[in-house]
Amino acid sequence: MNFDLKTLGVDGAVTEKCDLLVLLVSESFVPGSDALSDLVTQALKAKDFDAKPGKHLQMYQPQGVAARRLVLAGIGHGDARSVRQAMASIAAAFKQATVKRAVVCFASSAAASAVAAAVQGAAQASYVYTTTKPKAEARTLARVVIGVADVNAVIDAFTHSTAVVAGVEYAREWGNRPANHATPSLLAGAAKALTKHPRIQCKVMGPPEVSRLGMGAFMAVAQGSHEPLRLIELRYNGGAKTQAPVVLVGKGITFDTGGISIKPASEMDEMKFDMCGAASVLGVFRALAELQPAINVVGLIPACENMPDGHAIKPGDVVTSMSGQTIEILNTDAEGRLVLCDALTYAARFKPSAVLDIATLTGACVIALGGVRTGMFASDDALANALMVAGEASDDLCWRMPLDEDYAEGLKTNFADMANVAGRPGGAISAAKFLQKFVEGVPWAHLDIAGTAWKGGAAKGATGRPVGLLVHYLLGMAAASDAAAPKARQRKAPARGA
C-alpha cells in the first residue's frame, strides 16, 4: 500500500477522483463556498452529522463531488486520539473490495500527530492476513492520499508514520504466521530478506556456531525440538563507524508448549505469538530501511521452539550460560529468559550505547498491565524516560516497572548461581531481575510485551507493537547524535557554504 501527502483543502477535495473520499471534520470547521462545504453545513444543520470523534455519515455519488463514496468523519478537536477514533469507526469503508484509491482529507488545519494517526488508521483498517488463508479477501486498498492544508508542517510525521506502518505490518505478518510457517529457519529468512534494502546486513548462526559461543542456556531450550535453532544478527549501519550501536534483542520462541513443564491445552495456539519480540525487531529494521537514519542498530534474535521430547530439558537441570553463570531450570516454561540471557551476553560484543530486549516474557505482565501498556524495566533513568516519551509520542504505550534487588531473592538456589524462576508474586519483575544478571555496564531496558504484542478473541492477531515505540526512540537517538555532531555534518555538505 502506498501513501502520498498532498496539499488539499475542502474545495480541492471536491474534484478528487477516487473510490473513497474521507473528509475529517473538526469542531472548528469553517465552511468554504464549495459543494463539499455545503454538504457538511447541511448535514450539521440537520443533525445528521456531528463533528464529535466517532460520528460519521456515508454517502454515495453525492452531487458535485468527484469521489464515488464520501464519508464525513468527526474528529472533535482534531487531536491524534480523536483521529484514531474516527478512523477506527469508519474502518469498514477501507475494507470494501472496490476501494482501491482513497483520499483522506483534513477539512481544517492538521496537527502532525493527527496526520500520523490518519496514516496508521488507514493501514490498520485495511490490514488483512492472508498467508495461510488464501481465500481471505486480501487488501484491495492500494493508494491512500492524505490531504492537508500545509504539507511542510507535517511532512516529517508523515514520512515517519508510513515507515512505521511498513514495520508494523512486517511484524504483524511474522507474528501471525503459525509455528509451522514461521520456524526459526524461516524467521532467519525473513531477516535475510531485509538485506535487499541499503545499509542492512544479516548473519545467521546455527547449532555449531551457537555451541562454539558457549550459549548453554539457549541451546538447552532448543534441545527438545526437531527444528534447529537460529541466532540471527541484523545490522543497520547508518551512522559513523565510531558511533556505538543500540542493540535490540527479540525473543524468538516460534512456539512455546512450555516444554516438560507443559502448558494447559486451552489457548496454547496463542503461543505461536511467542516470537513477537523477534518480529518487532524485524519490523524496526523494515522501518529503518525506509527512513535510513544516521544511526547504528544491531538486532539479535535467538530463535527456537520450546518442546517436550525425550531430549528436552527437565526441571532441575542445570545449564551453563555464555556468561559462565550456571542456571537451575526449575520450570521449563520460563524459557524466554534462557534464550535471552545468552543473547544479552553476546550483545556486549558490539560495545553498545544501550541494549533493549523485547519479549513476550510473562503471563504476570498481562495480569499487571493488561493489553494497554507494555511493561518497561530499565536500569537507567534517562533510558526509561526516553522510552516512556517515545511510547506516548507514538501511541505505543509502556509503563515503568521496578527493579529493586529484593525482587531477585527468589532466584536463589542451592544448586546453581541462580534459578530460572522465583515465586508467582511479582513474576514479571523477577523475570526482569533474571535478565539483569546478564547485562553489565551499559544502559539496559527490558520490554515485556506479553500483553500488548497480540490480541485474543475474535480479533485474534499480532498488533505489531512495540515497533512504533522503538522506531520513535531510535529516531530520537538520531536527532540527538545529529545535534552533538554539527561539525561532521558541515563537513559532509561543503557545497552549501561554497
| CA-to-CA dists, residue 376 to 2, 113, 146, 432, angstroms | 33, 23, 34, 9
- Given the residues 263, 400, 455, 460, select the one marked as catalytic: 263
| CA-to-CA dists, residue 79 to 24, 112, 157, 369, 466, angstroms | 11, 9, 14, 25, 22
Whether 337 is catalytic? yes
* Contact between 317 and ligand BES per CB under 6 A: no
Residues 202-221 contacting ligand BES, CB under 6 A: none
Q: Which residues contact 316 (CB under 8 A, 6 or more apart)?
A: 328, 329, 330, 415
Site string for ligand BES, 321-360 (x = CB under 6 A): ----------x-xxxx-----------------------x
Choosing among Zn ion, Mn ion, ligand BES, none, which partner's interface includes residue 366 (Cβ < 5 to 8 Å by kind)? ligand BES
* Contact between 448 and Mn ion per CB under 5 A: no
* Contact between 394 and ligand BES per CB under 6 A: no
DSSP output for 3-27: EEEEE--HHHHTT---SEEEEEE-T
Euclidean distance between CA atoms 474 and 434, whole angstroms: 26
Dihedral over alpha carbons 285, 286, 291, 295 (to 10 degrees): 10
- Given the residues 172, 337, 433, 465, select the one marked as catalytic: 337
> What residue type is 50 in one-letter code?
D
Euclidean distance between CA atoms 237 and 219, whole angstroms: 29
For residue 336, the minimal CB distance to ligand BES (Å) is 4
* Contact between 421 and ligand BES per CB under 6 A: yes
Residues 263-282 contacting ligand BES, CB under 6 A: 274
The residues with which 445 forms a beta bridge, in sequence order, are 356, 378
* Contact between 297 and ligand BES per CB under 6 A: no
Cis preceding-peptide flag for 466 (omega within 30 of 0): yes
For residue 451, the minimal CB distance to ligand BES (Å) is 7
For residue 253, the minimal CB distance to Zn ion (Å) is 5
For residue 256, the minimal CB distance to ligand BES (Å) is 5
* Contact between 103 and ligand BES per CB under 6 A: no
Residue 468: burial class (beta carbons within 10 Å; 0-12, 13-18, 19+): buried
* Contact between 256 and ligand BES per CB under 6 A: yes
* Contact between 427 and ligand BES per CB under 6 A: yes
For residue 398, the minimal CB distance to ligand BES (Å) is 16
List the catalytic residues: 263, 337
